[in-house]
A and B are shown apart, each in its own frame.
Chain A
Amino acid sequence: MDIQTIIELKNVSFQYNDSYEQLSGVDLSVAEGECVVITGPSGSGKTTLTRMLNGLIPNFYEGKLTGSVRLKGRDIHEIEPWSFGRTSGSVFQDSRSQFFTSVVADEIAFSGENYGLNPSLILERVSALAEEFRITELLSRGLHGLSSGEKQKTAFASARLTDPELFVMDEPSANLDMAATRELAGMLSALKARGKTIVIAEHRLYYLLPLADRIIYMDGGQITTEWTRAGLLALTSRELDAYGLRSLVVSEGTDNFTVRQAEQVRRNRQQNPEHIAVQHANIAPGRFKRAVLEDQSFVLNRGEIAALTGPNGAGKTTLARTLCGLLREQEGVIRINGEPCKANKRLRKMWFVMQDSDYQLFSDSVRNELLMTHEDEPDAARQAERLLKELDLWEYREHHPASLSGGQKQRLTFAVGLMNRPDMIILDEPTSGLDGRNMRRVIKLIREMAESGVTVLVITHDYELVCGACDRLLLLDDGKLQADLAVNSATVPEVIRLMQAGK
Chain B
Amino acid sequence: MRVVFDPRTQLLVVLVTSVAVFWAGMDKVWMVTLFMAAYLLVQGIYVPVLKYLILAALLLGLQELLNRGGSGALSSLRFLNYLGLRFMPVMMGAGSLGRVPSGKLISALATLRLPRGLLISLAVCFRFMPVIRLEHEAIQVSARLRGVSFTSPVNWLRPLRTYEYTIMPLLMRSMKISDELAASATVKGIDDPGPKTSIHRIAFGLQDYLVLAAYACLLAAVF
Instruction: For the complex, give the distance between the alpha carbons of A116 and B116 in Å.
Output: 14
Does B90 reach chain A (CB closer than 8 Å)?
no
Does A92 reach chain B (CB closer than 8 Å)?
yes
Instruction: For the complex, give the distance between the alpha carbons of A373 and B149 in Å.
Output: 12
Instruction: For the complex, give the distance between the alpha carbons of A329 and B57 in Å.
Output: 35
> Using Cβ atoms and an 8 Å threshold, which residues of chain A touch B195?
116
Task: Select the stretch in A53-61, A191-199, A261-269, A391-399 that faces chain B.
Answer: A53-61
> Using Cβ atoms and an 8 Å threshold, which residues of chain B touch A142?
101
**From residue 312 to 331 of chain A, which have CB atoms closer than 8 A to chain B?**
321, 324, 326
A250 to chain B, nearest CB (A): 31
Give the residue name and chain of the B residue nearest to A92 (CB): B184
Does B61 reach chain A (CB closer than 8 Å)?
no
Let me know if B184 and A99 touch, CB within 8 A.
yes
Does B54 reach chain A (CB closer than 8 Å)?
no
> Using Cβ atoms and an 8 Å threshold, which residues of chain A touch B176?
97, 358
Let me know if A116 and B197 touch, CB within 8 A.
yes
> Using Cβ atoms and an 8 Å threshold, which residues of chain B touch A56?
183, 186-187
Give the residue name and chain of the A residue nearest to B131 (CB): A96
> Using Cβ atoms and an 8 Å threshold, which residues of chain A touch B127?
100-102
Does B153 reach chain A (CB closer than 8 Å)?
no
Does B180 reach chain A (CB closer than 8 Å)?
yes
Let me know if B180 and A114 touch, CB within 8 A.
no
- CB within 8 Å for A113 and B165 given contacts A103-B101, A347-B144, A416-B146: no
Instruction: For the complex, give the distance between the alpha carbons of A294 and B195 in Å.
Output: 55
B190 to chain A, nearest CB (A): 5
- CB within 8 Å for A82 and B199 given contacts A98-B184, A347-B145: no
> Using Cβ atoms and an 8 Å threshold, which residues of chain A touch B125?
none
Does A216 reach chain B (CB closer than 8 Å)?
no
Let me know if A82 and B193 touch, CB within 8 A.
yes
Per CB-CB distance, the 10 closest pairs between chain A and chain B, nearest first, are: A106-B103, A97-B180, A82-B191, A111-B188, A85-B189, A114-B189, A82-B192, A360-B142, A90-B187, A103-B101
Q: Knowing that A56-B183, A102-B101, A103-B101 are A-B contacts, what are 15 other residue pairs whose CB atoms are under 8 Å apart, sorted by A's residue number?
A: A82-B186, A88-B187, A92-B184, A96-B134, A101-B101, A106-B103, A106-B104, A111-B188, A113-B199, A114-B196, A119-B198, A126-B199, A354-B138, A362-B146, A373-B147
> Residues of A with Cβ closer than 8 Å to B?
54-56, 59-61, 81-86, 88, 90, 92, 94, 96-103, 105-106, 109-119, 122-123, 126, 142, 144, 158, 321, 324, 326, 347-348, 351-352, 354, 356, 358-362, 372-373, 402, 416
**Interface CB pairs A-B, < 8 A, 9:** A82-B192, A85-B189, A111-B188, A119-B198, A326-B141, A356-B138, A360-B145, A361-B169, A372-B146
